[in-house]
Amino acid sequence: MTGPVPTGAAPTDPGALRQRALDALTAARARTATLTSCVDDHDLTAQHSPLMSPLVWDLAHIGNQEEQWLLRAVAGRDAMRPEIDSLYDAFEHPRASRPSLPLLSPAEARRYAAEVRGRALDVLESTPLEGGSRLVDAGFAFGMIAQHEQQHDETMLITHQLRTGPAALSAPEPPPGSTADLPREVLVPGGPFTMGTSAEPWALDNERPAHHRIVPAFHLDTTPVTCGAYLRFIEDGGYTDERWWEPKGWAMVRRHGLTAPLFWRQEGGQWLRRRFGVTEPVPLDEPVLHVSWYEADAYARWAGRRLPTEEEWEKAARFDPASGRSRRYPWGDADPTSEHANLGQRHLRPAPAGAYPAGASPLGVRQLIGDVWEWTSSDFMPYPGFVAFPYREYSEVFFGPDHKVLRGGSFAVDQVACRGTFRNWDLPVRRQIFAGFRTARDA
């Protein structure tokens, strides 16, 4: 059944919402500039992997989506460049074919995106954010576009990871962490909790509506599975033992000769990885990264455990046993800070397991937000009462058993596109994304 969410939510005052939208749009554009100014035009127009678009496509697509929703849909203005709409339609052109399109040059893409942004800020200033259409109430359209740009910034960061050549990005190291004083797992009590949201102003359609779930008690890893733990799976023959694998996952391992996570290699008896143009020893205390759902599931089976369901993950992340309510985040209702979570490309790697004690859930689970996306066992399905808004292609066309749900965000995700209710999804074969996992077991 559905019901209200008894949590504190993001601001609803029009002035505060307007400032929040401005801040979110500005932060997204600054990050886009960082990702597209650190390489030359050749790297911007090249396709670094058939799995990804050229960076310049993402840049112009960001501008085109902003124009379509904020200038046309919200402000009712005429199209600036209607002839390019089809070029930057993600459903019309698969990523592998985008380099062959007559795309805007890097200079043209920058000019176009900048002109759109200037006009969009005028629209933000003049548009009432309450009492209007659902699209503009609480500044939803502006928040949606900020989230969209940050999601493409994450996609562009993945492209940077796939790109060969010297490092183009840099960032400080994340804070230290330790699991020495932490239990291996936490008991999450059984019973009802409120999943999803009907109150978060910028929540996307697949996060809605709030509804009640009854989840049996279960145990969940206190931290994500580390590279060191995953290495034990490798050394125990995990990639050569069919017992641990889903049939399609085993076929993937055999077809591609997989022996370790993407970007890992063994050299001179040592495991190394490539990270944004730098080769370094695999850090044993860091959450494992760049593993597919099939690899995560195989590890969990090998360990005598399983991946958590999506509802288990959200209950662990949001449920407060003392009050019985669902929080916005594990630590409470306040927006994330650098003390809570590794978000926003502040660092270019996950923090060691056990970091961010201020971001722990009431039950003591660490790093549920940020660091690595976490695979769950769940298929991407609509919640009871789901309504597509503002367009079917964001969520609805992906529902079904082909896509698995990921939760929690990663170091590559900005806080505007990451919350306790936020749902990500991808194909179970995907390895280039910033995904790891944690395991669970029945209580």
Residues 6 or more apart whose CB falls under 8 angstroms from that of 62 comprise 32, 113, 148, 149, 152
| Helices and strands of the chain, counted as H and E runs | 9, 12
Distance, in Å, from the CA atom of 265 to the CA atom of 437, rounded to the nearest integer, reads 21
Name the pairing type of β-strands 191-195 and 211-215.
Answer: antiparallel
CA 377 from chain center: how many Å? 17
Residue 97 counted as an annotated binding residue? yes
CA distance 202 to 415: 12
Q: What is the largest CA-CA distance in the chain?
A: 66
DSSP 218: E
Element (H, E) at 442: strand 440-442
- Look up residue 387 and give its two tokens: 């309504």
What is the Cα–Cα distance from 39 to 29, expressed in whole angstroms? 17
Alpha-carbon separation of residue 366 from 185, 300, 310, 346, 409 (angstroms): 10, 19, 17, 18, 13
User: Given phi > 0 = left and psi -120 to 50 = alpha, else beta, which region is 32?
Assistant: alpha
Q: Is 426 assigned a ligand-binding role in the annotation?
A: yes
Give CA–CA dist 349/278, Å, rounded.
Answer: 12
**410 marked as binding residue:** no
Q: Where are the beta strands (DSSP E) in 199-251?
A: 211-215, 218-221
Neighbours of 333 (CB within 10 A): 13
- Extract long-range pairs of 37-44: CB within 8 Å, 24+ residues apart: 38/168, 38/169, 39/163, 39/168, 41/105, 41/106, 43/163, 43/165, 43/168, 44/106
Residue 219 annotated as binding? no
325 annotated to bind ligand = no
Q: Taken in order 77, 78, 81, 82, is the CA torsion positive or negative?
A: positive
Residue 319, strand partner residues: 326
Beta-carbon-side half-sphere exposure of residue 183 (alpha carbons within 13 Å) = 9
Sheet strand arrangement including 264-267: 264-267, 270-275, 278-281
Task: For residues 84 and 152, give the distance between their C-alpha atoms in angstroms, rounded to a whole number.
Answer: 18
How far CA 239 is from CA of 123, 302, 429, 435, in Å, comes to 54, 11, 15, 18
- The position carrying tokens 């969990």 is 300
Q: Which residues are annotated as part of the binding site for Fe cation?
A: 61, 148, 152
Q: Which residues are annotated as part of the binding site?
A: 61, 95-98, 148, 152, 426, 430
Q: Which residues are annotated as part of the binding site for gamma-L-glutamyl-L-cysteine?
A: 95-98, 426, 430
